């Protein structure tokens, strides 16, 4: 049985627009119910288009983001002003245009000593998000991308066993195959615990990784997520 829903689009712009509309619908529903909405963001080229689409659509919809708490699925260990920072991109393209309150932004502190940064991130996430019976914080939604090797967040293929089974929400990733080498990533177990996961897959060179990941016996990091819980995939890749 397939554990995912695959939505295919003709272009990256259409993908970003539909994903933005779906997310705004979720925030609007949470607002109507008087609930907070805890979301984790990721980086990547398609995310730039996604953030821009959210801002543009909300000019008309005017949905309040006051109840939204923002976290991250991963971050590069760089200062928040560095071009490689996932926070920097979100801040410029999403938070500033939407006038998001600083108290709702819970960034991963890439400029700190990584071991300290993961402890701060864990404390902040657990302070706000409820926990499940396995003591994992439960986010309402996690946005993930997928790399050419099938990685998600900063969880890469051929990771050591201790990374696969780590129980804490965040971990330090050393010697990343993509620069910069040191990163902070959300753990698999915290990703698995989220209420909803949306994967945004866009860009040339990713077809093989996506195809492999969708197989029941896939071995990529994305496949590990798909084999563990339901996921929605937004893709603009051909032949899917």
Residue-level pLDDT, tens digit, the chain, 240 residues: 468 999 999 999 999 999 999 999 999 999 999 999 999 999 999 999 999 999 999 999 999 999 999 999 999 999 999 999 999 999 999 999 999 999 999 999 999 999 999 999 999 999 999 999 999 999 999 999 999 999 999 999 988 878 888 999 999 999 899 899 999 999 999 999 999 999 999 998 999 999 999 999 999 999 999 999 999 999 999 766
- What is the residue-wise DSSP string for 16-47? HHHHHHHHHHHHHHHHHTT--EEEEE--SHHH
Predicted model pTM? 0.96
Report the candidate in 194, 214, 215 with the shortest Cα–Cα distance to residue 144.
194
Using CB atoms within 10 Å of the CB of residue 217, give its burial: 0 to 12 exposed, 13 to 18 middle, 19+ buried: exposed
């Amino acid at each position: 049985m397939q554990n995912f829903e695959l939505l295919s689009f003709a272009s990256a712009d259409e993908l970003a627009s539909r994903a933005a509309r779906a997310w705004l619908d979720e925030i609007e529903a949470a607002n109507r119910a008087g609930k907070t909405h805890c979301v984790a963001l990721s980086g990547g080229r398609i995310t730039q288009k996604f953030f821009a689409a959210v801002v543009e659509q909300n000019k008309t919809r005017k949905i309040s983001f006051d109840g939204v708490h923002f976290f991250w699925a991963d971050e590069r260990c760089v200062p928040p002003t560095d071009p490689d920072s996932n926070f920097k991109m979100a801040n410029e393209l999403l938070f500033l245009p939407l006038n998001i309150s600083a108290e709702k932004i819970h960034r991963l502190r890439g400029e700190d000593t990584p071991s300290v940064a993961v402890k701060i991130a864990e404390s902040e996430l657990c302070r706000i998000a409820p926990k499940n019976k396995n003591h994992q914080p439960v986010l309402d939604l996690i946005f993930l991308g997928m790399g050419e090797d099938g990685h998600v967040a900063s969880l890469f293929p051929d990771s050591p066993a201790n990374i696969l089974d780590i129980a804490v929400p965040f971990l330090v990733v050393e010697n990343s195959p993509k620069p910069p080498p040191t990163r902070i990533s959300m753990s698999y177990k915290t990703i698995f615990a989220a209420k909803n996961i949306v994967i945004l897959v866009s860009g040339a060179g990713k077809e093989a990784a996506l195809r492999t990941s969708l197989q029941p016996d896939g071995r990529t990091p994305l496949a590990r997520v798909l084999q563990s819980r339901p996921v929605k995939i937004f893709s603009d890749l051909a032949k899917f």
